[in-house]
Amino acid sequence: MPKTLLDKIWERHQVGADGSLLYIDLHLVHEVTSPQAFDGLRMHGRTVRRPDRTLATADHNVPTDGTTTTARIRDELSRVQVQTLERNCAEFGIPLYSLGSPRQGIVHVIGPELGLTQPGMTIVCGDSHTATHGALGALAFGIGTSEVEHVLATQCLVQSKPKSMRIRYEGALGFGVTAKDLILATIGQIGVDGAVGHVVEYAGTAIESLSMEQRMTVCNMTIEGGGRAGMIAPDETTFEWIMSPPTRPAAPPAVPDEWHELRSDPDATFDREVVVDAAAVSPMVTWGTNPGMVVSVDGAVPAPSSEQDERALHYMGLEAGTPIEQLRLDRVFIGSCTNGRIGDLRAAASVARGRRVADGVYAMVVPGSAQVKAQAEAEGLDEIFRAAGFDWRGAGCSMCLGMNPDIAASGERVASTSNRNFEGRQGRGARSHLVSPQMAAAAAIAGHFVDIRSWDLDPQQEAAA
Amino acid sequence: MRAIETITGRVSVLDRDDIDTDQIIPKQFLKRVERTGFGEFLFYDWAREPGWELPKNPVLVAGRNFGCGSSREHAPWALEDYGFQAIIAPSFADIFRNNCTKIGLLPVQLSAEACRAIAEAGECQVDLAGQEVRWPGGAEAFAIDPDTKQRLLNGLDEIGLTLAQSDAIAAYEAAREQSGGWAGPQTTALA
C-alpha cells in the first residue's frame, strides 16, 4: 500500500500495542507556555523523561533593545517568566539558550538553525507555529500546556492520526512573488479553516524550487489555514541545507539512508487534494483581521460580504474600494518565525539598500535569532538597514505578538512580515497588514504599499544608468 | 480534573465566526506563571466595547472555527475560569479543541442549525455519556473520540495513564536504538 510522508513518520513513532501513543523526537520549550507544565510535574513528583530530546529558549517576552541578561528585563512579569524558565530548566536538566546566549532566538528559527530539526522526526512545541519545522520533512505541530507537561513526563502524546491533505502548486512563481505571497494566497483560497483536521503536504515544482528558508515560511503559516501541521518532502535542498557546515552542530555525520525513503510514494492518496495556481499569485497584502482576508497589492480593499468583513473593515479603518497601494503606513516590522531568517533579511536589505525610510514611518528589523543577527552583521546588512533609517534590533518574537515592549499604538497602520493580523495582536487597536519582507521594506521607504514588481532594485545602478 | 457527566443550564451566545485565541485571552495576560485566575480577562478587549454582554453560564454557543490561532491553553483556562463547562460550535480549531479536553472543558461540535436553535432556546443539556445535546424543542447527537470520552467521564489524569505504559515506551526507545539507524539529534550533546 503506497504511503504518504505523514503515514511513514506516523508509523515509525507509534508506541505500544494499540498505537495510541505517538513518540516525540524533539520537544521545544519556551517561557510562555511552560511554567504551569513544570508546576504540574512538581506537584505530582514527576521528572522529565528525556531532557536530551528537549531544548528551551526565551523568545516571546524578551526585549529586543540589546538587553542581554534576564535580570535586566524591565517588565517585571516578563522578567519573572524568563527567570522561571531558567529555574525550571536548571531543576529538570533541560538545555536552555536564554537571553544573552549566542544561540538564543525564536524557537522555530533556532531548531532548524542548530540542525536539531531533521527529516522524519516528530517535533512539538507549545506554540502554534511549530509547523515551521515541517519544511524539513518532519511532522511538527503545536500543543497546549497540558500536552507540554505530558511530553515532558512521557516523551509521548496521546494522538489520533489526522487526515492528510495535499496542496499541489501548478506553475512557477512570477518575478517579485515570494513564498510569503504563495502561502497568503493559499490561505485566501482555502480559508482560515480550510485545513482543519488535516496535516498538509505542500507539493509541486513551485515548492521544490523554493529555498529551505522559503519552505519554512510556507509551512510556518499552515496553522493560519487551520492545518494541524504542514510538511514538504525532504530532497537534496533539504539535505544540503542541514549538512552545510559549520553552523549546524546537531547534524548527523552523513545523510542517513532513511531520509531518502521519506517522500510520499508516487501513487499515495490523500484524504483531500487542493490545487493552487502558483503562476497566478501576485505580491499579497492582507486587508482584514485574519490571514485569509488578503488581496493582491494591485487590488483594492474588497466590498464586505459578511458581518465579519464589516467588523474587520471597521477595525482596520478601511473603506471598500480603496486601492491597496494608497494605504499609508505608520510602522513596519520585519522579523518573526515567518520571515526573520537570514534570507528574509537579505531580501529586505536588497530593497532598502541606498534608500531612506519615509518620514513619519518607524521601521524595525528584528533578526529571528542571535545567530541570524551575527550573520547579518557579518554581511553588513545591519549597516544597510541603519543607513536607510531602519531600527536594527536584537533577536526575539518582538512585534509579531507584542508580549514585549515592541508594540504598535492604537490606530497605527503596520506593514508586518509576521503571521497574524488578528485584532489587537500587535497592540490594542493596531492595524496590521501581512506582507513579504521585500514588500515590507518597500512600504517603509515609500510610506505606503507599493508593488515590488515595479520597484527598481538598486537606486545607485539607476543613477549610474 | 473533575469528571463530567451532564452539563445543564442557560447558554451564552457569541455569534461570530473564526474567533481566535488572541481575542479569548489577549497576549498581555500570558505573562502570568499561574494556571488560575484568567476568567476576569476573558475577551478583554471586546468586553470593553459598547453593547458587550456575556453572562456567566455553563454553556457557550459560538460560531464556526472557534479558538483558531495561537495554541495558548490560557484560552480554555480563561473560559473555564469564567464559568463555562461546555462550548458548542459548528467547528473548532484543532489545538484549541485538544486543549479543552485536557482540562475538562467539553468542546461539542453540532450542526450550524442546532447551534442556532440552542442559541434561540437559551438553555440546553449536554449529555456526554449519551453523546447528545438536548434543548427545548430539539436534540442532536455529537461525536467524540472514545478514549477522550472515557477520560472526561471519569476525570482521569492523562499523564498518569500514559506513565502506566512506561514499559511500552521504554521498549520502543530500546528498539529504536538497536535498529542501527541514525538515532536523531540530542540536545544535551550540542557542543
Query: Domain map of chain B by residue range?
Result: 6-177
Contact check, Cβ <8 Å, B22/A425: yes
Largest separation between any pair of C-alpha atoms in chain A: 72
Whole-number Å distance between alpha carbons of A257 and A58: 34
**A245 has a pLDDT exceeding 90:** no
**A462 has a pLDDT exceeding 70:** no
Q: Which residue of A has its CA nearest to B148?
A: A158
Which residues does chain A have within 8 Å of residue B160's beta carbon, measured at their own beta carbons? 44
Contact check, Cβ <8 Å, B23/A155: no
A139 and chain B: CB distance < 8 Å anywhere? no
Coil vs helix vs strand at A86: helix
Which of A170, A153, A166 lies closest to A200, judged by CA? Answer: A166
Coil vs helix vs strand at A250: coil
Quote the pLDDT of residue A18: 86
A 10 A CB-CB count for A420 gives 28
Quote the pLDDT of residue A247: 72
Whole-number Å distance between alpha carbons of A377 and B53: 52
Tens digit of each residue's pLDDT (9 = 90 or more) over A224-242: 999 999 999 999 999 999 9
Quote the pLDDT of residue A9: 98
Tens digit of each residue's pLDDT (9 = 90 or more) over A130-187: 999 999 999 999 999 999 999 999 999 999 999 999 999 999 999 999 999 999 999 9
Q: Is A46 left (phi over 0), alpha (psi -120 to 50) or beta?
A: beta
* Partner residue opposite A154 with nearest CB, options B103, B145, B169: B169
Mean per-residue pLDDT for A188-195? 98
A368 and chain B: CB distance < 8 Å anywhere? no
The DSSP output letter for B70 is -
| Contact by Cβ (8 Å): B67, B92 | yes
Which of A264, A231, A10 lies closest to A133, judged by CA? Answer: A231
Which of A92, A90, A130, A94 lies closest to A110, judged by CA? Answer: A130
pTM above 0.80, yes or no: yes
Contact check, Cβ <8 Å, A258/B181: yes
Quote the pLDDT of residue B183: 87
**A463 has a pLDDT exceeding 70:** no
Q: Give me the residues of A, 60-119, that contact B with CB < 8 A.
A: 60-61, 75, 77-78, 80-81, 84, 94-95, 114-116, 118
A32 and chain B: CB distance < 8 Å anywhere? yes
Q: Which amino acid is at A405?
A: P
Which residues does chain B have within 8 Å of residue A294's beta carbon, measured at their own beta carbons? none
* Partner residue opposite A196 with nearest CB, options B16, B94, B186: B94
Mean per-residue pLDDT for A355-369? 98
**Could you tell me how many helices (H) and strands (E) chain A has, helices first?**
16, 19
Whole-number Å distance between alpha carbons of A183 and A185: 5
Which residues does chain B have within 8 Å of residue A223's beta carbon, measured at their own beta carbons? 69, 95
Best B16, B33, B96 residue to mutate vs chain A (most A CBs within 10 Å): B33
A293 and chain B: CB distance < 8 Å anywhere? no
Whole-number Å distance between alpha carbons of B9 and A32: 34
Quote the pLDDT of residue A459: 54
* Partner residue opposite A192 with nearest CB, options B31, B65, B76: B65
Quote the pLDDT of residue A338: 98
Coil vs helix vs strand at A119: coil
Mean pLDDT, consecutive 10-residue stretches, chain B (191 aa), reads 94 98 97 95 97 97 98 98 98 98 98 98 98 98 96 96 97 93 92 72
Say which CATH architecture domain B6-177 belongs to.
Alpha-Beta Barrel (3.20)
List Cα–Cα distances, B137 to A89, A326, B1, B120, B142, in angstroms: 55, 53, 32, 10, 17
**A325 has a pLDDT exceeding 70:** yes
Quote the pLDDT of residue A19: 85
Coil vs helix vs strand at B4: coil
**A457 has a pLDDT exceeding 70:** no
Quote the pLDDT of residue A171: 98
Whole-number Å distance between alpha carbons of A14 and A351: 47
Whole-number Å distance between alpha carbons of A118 and A125: 15
| Contact by Cβ (8 Å): A415, A333 | yes
